[in-house]
């Protein structure tokens, strides 16, 4: 059985360029570089894995600051968030 501590010390697949552990990513999400870190996760991680680190409300409340850092994923995220809002999911 994998413990929470072992998970926190794991380097996620999308951290190939930074080699940050899950713990380090969570720390950065609560620090001064939180928007940069969140945008990086939204660009690099699979859609379903983003929610391991943040909530939809966090993404929505910060989207204006995030959208210019999302690169080719910007349209995808705008579509998803608009669709969820229309459906009353967020």
This prediction's pTM: 0.89
pLDDT for 14 equals: 95
Average pLDDT, the chain: 94
* Structural domain of 42: 4-86
Tokens read off for 64: 């204006």
The DSSP output letter for 87 is: T
Is the CB of residue 65 less than 8 Å from the CB of residue 35?
A: yes
Alpha-carbon separation of residue 14 from 18, 49, 73, 77, 86 (angstroms) = 9, 10, 15, 18, 30
Domain count, the chain: 1
* Residue % of the chain over a pLDDT of 90: 78
């Amino acid at each position: 059985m994998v413990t929470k501590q072992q998970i926190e010390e794991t380097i996620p697949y999308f951290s190939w360029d930074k080699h940050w552990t899950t713990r380090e990513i969570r720390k950065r999400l609560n620090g001064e570089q939180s928007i940069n870190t969140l945008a990086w996760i939204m660009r690099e991680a699979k859609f379903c894995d983003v929610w391991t680190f943040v909530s939809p409300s966090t993404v929505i409340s910060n989207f204006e600051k995030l959208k210019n850092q999302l690169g080719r994923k910007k349209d995808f995220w705008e579509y998803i968030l608009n669709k969820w809002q229309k459906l009353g999911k967020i």
